[in-house]
A and B are shown apart, each in its own frame.
Chain A
Amino acid sequence: LIVAGSGTNLPLFRKIAELYQQEHPETKVVVPTSIGTGGAVRALMDSAIDLGLASRKLKEREKRAGIVEIPFATVELVIAANSSVKEKTVTEIDLLDIYNGKRTHWSDGAPVVPLIRESGDSSRAVFAKILPALEASMVRAFHSRAWKVCYTDGQMVQALVSIPGSIGFMDLGTVLIEGLPMKTYPFPGVDAKKPLSMLTMGRPEGEVEDFIEFARSSAVQDILRLGGYLPPDV
């Protein structure tokens, strides 16, 4: 059983896959590296995978192609920083100053290293909707190469863990499930969330249907609780 898709889902589904295989040793569940929600859709259309993982709502043309979206959970998005950062809170003004380049040092004098995602990233799309000024700063930064760009969740995790003074964005679930050594701050003012869902080509059957049922069962509630996941917005 091949389960692939958005990087936001991968830590969670690797755990779920482990649990599923414990109960169904006859089934081997493979969770490859991130191919993104779009990649999951294309792979489903090619029948290259059995189950897709999405961290955004499906587009109309994807739905028209026969992709079925099965809402699964909602994950909170947070501001993440290297563990060396001493700040207790990060405000909206702090964020804008940092990404506009006005603020270059933390309060303890350490240099600030802003990290951004590419514009197609689903987390960034959520922030863009909430705080357009921040998105404008990121667009400028991307084209001027002012800040380091991370193209996968993995790259973001690695950068936040290893670069002192770095600041970026993560989903809280990944941080908690994997116990990543980094600081997290709630997005100022509003709850930043994005939906997680499973994708199938047409109506799920057989092992895929079993796996979906398993993932939605109480068997995985501990993991969901651990990661701070919320029920899906239906």
Chain B
Amino acid sequence: VPIVLLALAVLALTGCASSASERPARTRSWRATTIMAGTAWLDGVVPGVYARRALGTANAALARDDPDGAARASRLRAAIERGDRAEVARLLER
């Protein structure tokens, strides 16, 4: 029992990569996350430390399939780090 459970655990933890058919939806999801996190910071409903972290995660998630989206997440993160509200608003097209 322990060996079978361990083997299944390793298989499951390493075998959950998103399939090709999942990629567009995943990309849309992380782009939307980028906008939501940036907007939330701009509206003052989340702290900068959280917004930066979320945008860093979005950047990593988008890096392979959507370089433009990843770059925007990265620029938003940098702007939030500087406290540059105007730049964040510009990047969010608000």
Q: Do A and B bind each other?
A: no
Residues of A within 8 A of B (CB): none
Residues of B within 8 A of A (CB): none
